[in-house]
Amino acid sequence: MMGKTNNKMGWGWLLLLLLPLAAACAAPRTETPPATLQAVLSSSPIWEGIDHNHVAVLQEQALGSGQLLLYQWQNESAETCLATAYLINLNGEWQTHDTFYTACHAEPAFLAAHSGNSTAESPYGPARFSTAYGVSKDGHAVRVVWADGQVSYIPLQNGSFLVARNGNIAVERVELVDSANNVLTIEDWQGSTLN
């Protein structure tokens, strides 16, 4: 009789241990885009030598059916590096689709960059999009002047800015402005090509 009681208790414990495991496997993965980005950066040989704990997501924006992230880190020379990553959610799991980064700079007071491509095809996101992004220790906002004449006014958040538009549109310049809309500095790419 004693053996049967212990056997029933053993099955009960086993059932208690397996139920949470089965539930965890059945639940959709709900990692956030920043957590997914951290996982990708820590597992990719391209990012070897970078302290992934010091990668900071500065901004996150919905774009198409995904999320566009602006993030920064310091390289082994203690220079500030910026990048964007486009993540899409497929079957409840976030996956990186595109990532683009700028050259790293030592202690930049103002750093602006632009990129323009996503090879994503619908329904996973915009067929193509263009971005302007950067960081600044000063200023209130940036004006992004696009090659088609459109101007985007973007207030700084967390000392950074990020703007995206559908289409492959070159960025001609980014102007850092103060709260009175006075230009503090300009990053000019007029005449350059984007992709």
Q: How far is CA 26 from CA 15, 35, 56, 175, in A?
A: 16, 20, 31, 50
Range(s) of the domain holding residue 5:
1-27
Domain membership of residue 194 (yes or no) is no
State the distance between the two ends of the chain, measured CA to CA, in whole angstroms.
78
Q: 109 with 18, same domain?
A: no
Q: Are residues 23 and 77 in the same domain?
A: no
| pLDDT at residue 94, as a whole number | 79
* pTM above threshold 0.85: no
pLDDT for 118: 55
Q: How many domains does the chain have?
A: 2
Residue 195 lies in a domain: no
Comparing C-alpha atoms, which of 137, 138, 134 is closest to residue 173? 134
The pLDDT of residue 161 is: 96
- 67 in Cβ contact with 86 (< 8 Å): yes
State residue 120's pLDDT score: 53
State residue 182's pLDDT score: 97
Q: 82 with 70: CB under 8 angstroms?
A: yes
| 193, part of any domain | no
The answer on 91 and 11 residing in a single domain is no
CA distance 161 to 152: 11
The answer on 103 and 9 residing in a single domain is: no
pLDDT by residue for the chain (195 residues), tens only, comes to 444 444 444 433 333 333 333 333 333 344 776 666 666 665 555 555 566 567 888 998 988 778 888 988 887 788 888 888 888 877 777 777 666 767 788 878 898 888 865 555 555 555 578 889 999 999 999 999 999 999 999 999 999 999 999 888 889 999 999 999 999 999 998 865 543
Do 90 and 16 share a structural domain? no
Both 165 and 115 in one domain: the answer is yes
135 and 184 fall within a common domain = yes
**Distance, CA of 135 to CA of 156 (rounded, Å):** 8
CA 141 to chain centre: 20
The predicted structure's pLDDT at residue 168: 83
Same domain, 70 and 130: yes
Q: In the prediction, which pLDDT does 160 show?
A: 95
Q: Six-digit token pair at 116?
A: 């323009």
